[in-house]
Amino acid sequence: MSTRIGFHGCYTAIVTPFSADGTSVDLARLEEGVRRQAAGGVTGIVPCGTTGESPTLTEEEHARVVETAVRVGRPFGLQVVAGAGSNSTAHAVHLQKLARQLGADAGLQVTPYYNKPSQEGIYRHFMAVADCCDLPVMLYNIPGRAGVAIAPETVERLSRHPNIQAIKEATGSMDSASEIRQRCGITVLSGDDSLTPSFAAVGAAGVVSVVSNLVPGRVAELCRLLAGNDFRAALEVHMALLPLSKGLLSIDVNPVPVKCALASLGLDTGMVRLPLAAASAQAATRIRELVVSAGIVASAVPTPAGAAR
């Protein structure tokens, strides 16, 4: 049985930096990004997730990204929740075992996509992953990408497995989050920056965040305020970031906007890989406006130890 992890606070769904032409992973920039997150005070990082463009990574690249995240993040006390999901159960099991081998603290397991399995199929898929090794599982419920949701009653069934310890709820549904909390004690994390306070109000313990790629300190502080029931101060932080949080997931498909926003701050993470395409000129202008409106300037972005400004 896996050790139980106290999932809480801000987990950054960290981008995968690529070279200028997108043909290779820029591990040096990834290291800088991990240190930047640590300097911002987040609880953990999630490499090889949706924001990390996991579908375009080769298995060798996937392993190097997770290895780098663990090697650089662990000395700073960061939890590393490695993306390990697949729409093939056998492959998801393989990636979960790989995450354990590489030293990750948990594996992020997305609902099987494209297949559109039944709830029984979803249950058996995740149970196979949970049974395969002693590494905690964070379920990832994102029907907008997977085509099917994990129903609250299925989450309840899955939560009885000691290795299934948390769920990233990216359904956008307060009803779903509320029913999961009502049914079982699994740790719920918001999968949408714009809903972090709303989810906290029904018992969520934090967020897997996209906007924290830009402002890790602000999102970490938001989570601390919510955990301390200081909703007045939390609301102030949340409202200042809300237009940007919404824009990063609506102006173009994630992670196109966040990579554009990082570049506007002098934190270039390279291009996105096909089939994604770079933000249009109009979209890029709007993204830059949102970054400025949120009061984010390059000088305010945490600088990782040993990295030049």
Q: Which domains does the chain have, with CATH numbers?
A: 9-231 (3.20.20.70)
Q: Of 75, 85, 74, 63, give the one whose Cα is nearest residue 16.
A: 63
Strands (E) in the chain, as ranges, are 9-12, 44-45, 79-83, 106-110, 137-141, 164-169, 187-190, 206-209
User: Which residues are paired to 164 by β-bridges?
Assistant: 137
Q: Of 18, 213, 40, 65, give the one whose Cα is nearest residue 83.
A: 65
- Cβ proximity of 215 and 296 under 8 Å: yes
Classify each residue of 107-120 as buried b or exposed e, where b means 16 or more C-beta atoms within 10 Å of its C-beta: bbbbbbbebebeee
Which tokens go with 286? 């709007």
Q: Report residue 274's pLDDT band, with 50, 70 and 90 as the boundaries.
A: very high
Task: Give the gyration radius of the chain's Cα atoms.
Answer: 18
pLDDT of residue 309: 31
Whole-prediction pTM value?
0.95
pLDDT surpassing 60 at residue 70: yes
pLDDT surpassing 90 at residue 278: yes
Q: What single letter denotes the amino acid at residue 171? A: T
Q: Is 103 exposed, middle or buried (0-12, 13-18, 19+ CB in 10 A)?
A: middle
Sorted by sequence, the CB contacts under 8 Å of residue 45 that are 6+ apart come out as: 11, 12, 14, 34, 37, 69, 73, 78, 79, 80, 81
Classify each residue of 155-187 as buried b or exposed e, where b means 16 or more C-beta atoms within 10 Å of its C-beta: bbbbbebebbbbbbbbbbbeebbbbbbeebebb
- Classified as helix, coil or strand, 15 is coil
pLDDT surpassing 70 at residue 114: yes
- Taking residues 302-308, report their average pLDDT: 52
pLDDT surpassing 80 at residue 305: no
pLDDT digits (tens, 9 = 90+) for 124-150: 999 999 999 999 999 999 999 999 999
What average pLDDT does the structure give for the chain?
95
- Taking residues 6-29, report their average pLDDT: 96
* C-alpha–C-alpha distance, residues 167 and 189, integer Å: 6
pLDDT surpassing 80 at residue 62: yes
The residues assigned a catalytic role are 140, 168
Among 213-217, 266-270, 295-299, which range has the highest average pLDDT? Answer: 213-217
pLDDT of residue 303: 61
Per-residue CA distances from 112 to 43, 86, 262 (Å): 27, 6, 30
- Taking residues 190-195, report their average pLDDT: 98
